[in-house]
Structure 1
Amino acid sequence: MRGRSHVPFGAPPHQRLRRMPRRPRRIAMLSVHTSPLHQPGTGDAGGMNVYIVELARRLAAIDIEVEIFTRATTARLPPSVELAPGVLVRHVDAGPYEGLAKEDLPAQLCAFTHGVMQAWAGHRPGHYDLVHSHYWLSGHVGWLAAERWGVPLVHAMHTMAKVKNAALAAGDTPEPAARVIGEQQIVRAADRLIANTAEEAEELVRHYGAARELVAVVHPGVNLDRFRPADGRAAARARLGLPADALIPLFAGRIQPLKAPDILLHAIAHLLEEDPSLRERMVVPVVGGPSGSGLAKPEGLHKLAARLGICDVIRFRPPCAQDELADWYRAASVLVMPSYSESFGLVAIEAQACGTPVVAASVGGLPVAVRDGVSGTLIDGHDPADYARALRPFVREPGRADRMGAAAARHAQSFGWDTAAAATAEVYTEAMRERRRLRSGHG
């Protein structure tokens, strides 16, 4: 990655000139509600899963061992699984394996914490140098573990209740007050907070009272070996059985109101009403599975397509492995992301890395992920007519997808996991340095 992935957020310059202590040797990474082994796009698995897997792999590559603790959801998996050299996934028994909704997990945090402590008790003192928790549920376990072990806590929110509640989709369920309170407690407890973008850092300060000097911005990366243009759009379409010359707007992600796939379907209905001939030369894949509040109405999107009279152009596909997902990106004329909230929008970067432009809502981290007017188009609001308007140029100009796609691939090169991991390691080092300074009585 050529761009700078870690941006200090208020750290005094003289602090950054001091001699840096050693990096951590081994960290405990916590992901209570979703396992890095789960298929992204199913249930609660999504961008955070990809984030944790890729970050852990790259940290191990720079000699920081990672042990990821996650809740066991099946008896078939062993207590620990090696995800990659230097990366171990530990399955913790906490509640029933199946049928436990994310909303019920706070009641299992005590059991999960007990499992983490049991694993730690089997090691010599000082086994973990630091705790890195992901999402607020993990933050509460990390808070206790870090205090018990006498090590720093680094926390990444990924999403925040106050931000989500301020931009709810119609009919979506607000995040509960318990989560808001829990997030505020974690912000006060953490030694460092990692935000995906400067905007997210500002939200932590504004909504949760985070200390500016404790917030660092680290842009997530993309696996540029997997997500790349490869052999091009035509070859990918042939592999997926898609027409070679069709207009293909793609939705990829979890099917839930937050991600707003319904906006795309309404936009497609607009386009077909204006130009019925498009039915013969347009395919709209929707790749993903129900998640979150979308689980309450798993067939809702299918029924909407039927009501809009567009079933003939929509192709619903289940979540797929990352290599196949890369082919869906390559095959598409454009990726459409009408989300109401995105902490960063890894899907947008992955698609661009494959040479596909993006039409996205101008929310959260998407203005960082997408270069408006160059690698894609950003839209204020969620009016389907605006998304239809942004898709029309792809109808009129057959070369637009290739032209903007080439710019998108160049733009995505500035987001690599190696630099993201190095920047995260720097945050770890700073947290350890501050902990040592306070212990020595210089605070």
Structure 2
Amino acid sequence: MSSTDAADDRGTRPDPTGGCPVQRVAMISVHTSPLEQPGQGDAGGMNVYVLESARELGRRGIEVEIFTRRTTAAQPDLVEAAPGVRVRFVDAGPYEGLGKDDLPGQLCAFTAGVMRVLAGLPEGYFDLVHSHYWLSGQVAWLVADRWRLPIVHSMHTMARVKNAQLAADDSPEPPGREIGEEQVVRAASWLVANTASERRELIELYAADPDRVHVVSPGVDLATFTPGDRAAARAELGLGDDEDVLLFVGRIQPLKGPDVLVRAAARLRAARPDRRLVVAVLGAPSGSGLRHPTWLSDLVSELGLDEVVRLLPPVDRPTLAQWYRAADLLAVPSFSESFGLVAVEAAGCATPTVAARVGGLPTAVGDGGVLVDGHDPRVWAETLGALLDDPEARRELGERALRHAQDFGWDRTADQLLELYRTACRQGEQAPHDQPLAGVPTAVIP
């Protein structure tokens, strides 16, 4: 989080001296394992957040156990992910073939699996539960109520926000999710928002108690995402020094808007046929994009851009850092983003971002890029083309981006989470989930 965020926009600040000691944290991530490759399936920035924050907490001597759903028979019951960090795989429904929208029907089975594990541990083994995404919040609600634990919850995305900003032909989130999110907001001891704008959305759209919503921005691996030799990165990736390289990193679904970039690229090509343009798209079909997995490649062919657009699978983090270094610009044309971690990763590599002015992207981009209002490919083409033709402007933005990224180390995220955990433990006896949830249904509607 930027140091310029006003204290009164963050909610009541946790007391750094009066909190109780925290030794063990149970994290819950039902629908996606933190060990999955981001950029495919349901894996994305949340996976990175869960694993990296847990690793940093582990470095501080906090033991973290992450409960997630088993999706293949090959996954063991327990994996040591890092010193002090263990991932537990829980059986809940068929290993394969279940999408995120199918999981509300498996919450009972998942919760039962988590409770069986906890029943075999000494009373008071965990100090609190930190749940990620609304499905996990439903599980945390029951677990915390049984073992009298405080709940810290991170939404990551919200149905009412997404539904207000749908891409064309995208499907709205179901009413059952909105009901489930309302329940979690009321049950949580503390809510963690990625940005000040997300905090306001929780308060305005879900009637969250302002005193229990705390802003903790995600971090970035500043040891991996660093500036480097652009020419060497391009040589490694098979890119030419004289090519204009636009990069998209994310899951291939309408929400992320990769088609906006492809249509803008068609206009760039038409305006300057001599431009040696490369559009690299790193990701795999996900979410509503799975209904027609070839929708983006079909659009590329329809626009005659098969020699311009490279559709590539997700890559590991060192390779991703090379792509950021090689690119002239990162494009993030999302219709909704709770934060936009890829913008900060690119900033760590001194690569500027052109992003949609939505959600948390203004915070993630800072002054290290350009924000675009709306998703009109004509406007995106004009913005991208102007920057591609102005290397000095890109250089200045890249320098600003690099400075901006230094405020987002995972160590800072972990410090703020730990401060919040201590306060949540100290105030555990007053946790909202100890009180009746007046007016809220007691079951999730799938």
Question: What's the TM-score once normalised by structure 2's chain length?
Answer: 0.94
Shift of 1:395: 3.0
Task: Trace 1:384-403 onto structure 2 (pairs within 5 A).
Answer: 384-403=377-396
Q: Who is 1:339 aligned against?
A: 334
2:437 is aligned to none
2:317 to 322, 334, 338: 322
SS at match of 2:152: strand
Aligned equivalent of 1:240: 237
**Retained in 2: the 8 A contact 1:71–1:112?**
yes
C-alpha displacement of 1:12? 5.4
Q: Deviations over 1:64-100 (max 9, x none)?
A: 1100000000111210000000000000000011111
Q: Which moved more, 1:201-210 or 1:4-13?
A: 4-13
Q: Secondary structure at the match of 1:276?
A: coil
- 1:395-437: CA deviation from partner (whole Å, max 9, x where unpaired): 3223443332222111111111101111011111111121246
Change (3 A) 1:89 1:10: closer
Seen in structure 2, the aligned counterparts of structure 1 residues 358 and 11 have a Cα distance that, compared at 3 Å, is closer
Per the alignment, residue 179 of structure 1 pairs with 177
Paired residues of 1:2 and 1:414 also in contact (CA < 8 A): yes
Structure 1 residues 241-282: Cα deviation after superposition (integer angstroms, max 9, x where no partner): 11122110111110000000000011011111111111xx21
- Does the residue aligned with 2:407 lie in a helix, a strand or coil? coil
> Match of 2:41, SS?
coil
Q: Report the Cα distance in structure 2 between the residues aligned to 1:191 and 1:200, rounded to whole angstroms.
A: 17
Q: Is the 8 A contact 1:113 1:141 kept in 2?
A: yes
Letter of the structure 1 residue corresponding to residue 412 of structure 2: T
Query: 1:269 aligned to 2:266?
Result: yes
Pick closer, same or farther for the CA change 1:98–1:437 going to 2, 3 Å: closer
Aligned counterpart in structure 1 of residue 404 of structure 2, from 403, 411, 422: 411
Percent identical: 56
How big is the shift at 1:297?
1.1
Q: 1:345 is aligned with what amino acid?
A: G
Counterpart in 2 of 1:430? Answer: 423
What does 1:305-384 correspond to in 2, within 5 Å?
305-371=300-366, 374-384=367-377
Distance in 2, matches of 1:8 and 1:340, equals 28
Offset from partner CA, 1:112-152 (integer Å, 9 cap, x none): 00110111111110011000000000000000001111110
Q: Is 1:52 the equivalent of 2:47?
A: no
Q: Alpha carbons of 1:8 and 1:47: their partners in 2 closer, same or farther (altered >3 Å)?
A: farther
Q: For 1:378, what is the secondary structure of its paired residue?
A: strand
Instruction: Give the Cα separation in 2 of the matches to 1:322 and 1:111.
Output: 34
Q: Which residue of the partner structure matches residue 109 of structure 2?
A: 111
1:345-370 CA distance string (max 9 Å, x none) = 00110011111000000000011111
Which of 246, 253, 256 is the aligned partner of 1:256?
253
Gaps of 5+ in 2: 433-446
- What is the rounded CA distance, in whole Å, between the counterparts of 2:193 and 2:237 in structure 1? 36
Tell me how far apart the structure 1 counterparts of residues 11 and 210 of structure 2 sit (CA, whole Å). 8
Distance 2:5 2:254 in 1: 30
Quick one: structure 1 residues 302 and 109, their matched pair in 2 at CA, closer, same or farther if it must change by over 3 Å?
A: same
* Matched residue type, 2:374: G
Distance 1:367 1:228, change over 3 A: same
Residue aligned with 2:427, SS: helix
- Number of residues paired by the alignment? 432
1:7 touches 1:218 (CA, 8 Å); kept in 2? no
Query: Which blocks of at least 5 consecutive residues in structure 1 are unaligned?
Result: none
The answer as to whether partners of 1:264 and 1:338 remain within 8 angstroms in 2 is: yes
Change (3 A) 1:11 1:45: closer
- Find out whether 1:163 has 2:161 as its counterpart: yes
Aligned residue among 212, 218, 221 for 2:219: 221
* Contact kept in structure 1, 2:195 and 2:363, CA below 8 Å: yes
SS at structure 1 position matched to 2:277: coil
Deviations 1:327-347 (A, max 9, x none): 111110000000000000001
User: Would the aligned equivalents of 1:68 and 1:90 in 2 still touch at CA under 8 Å?
Assistant: yes
| Secondary structure, aligned partner of 1:285 | strand
Displacement after TM superposition at 1:16 (Å): 3.9
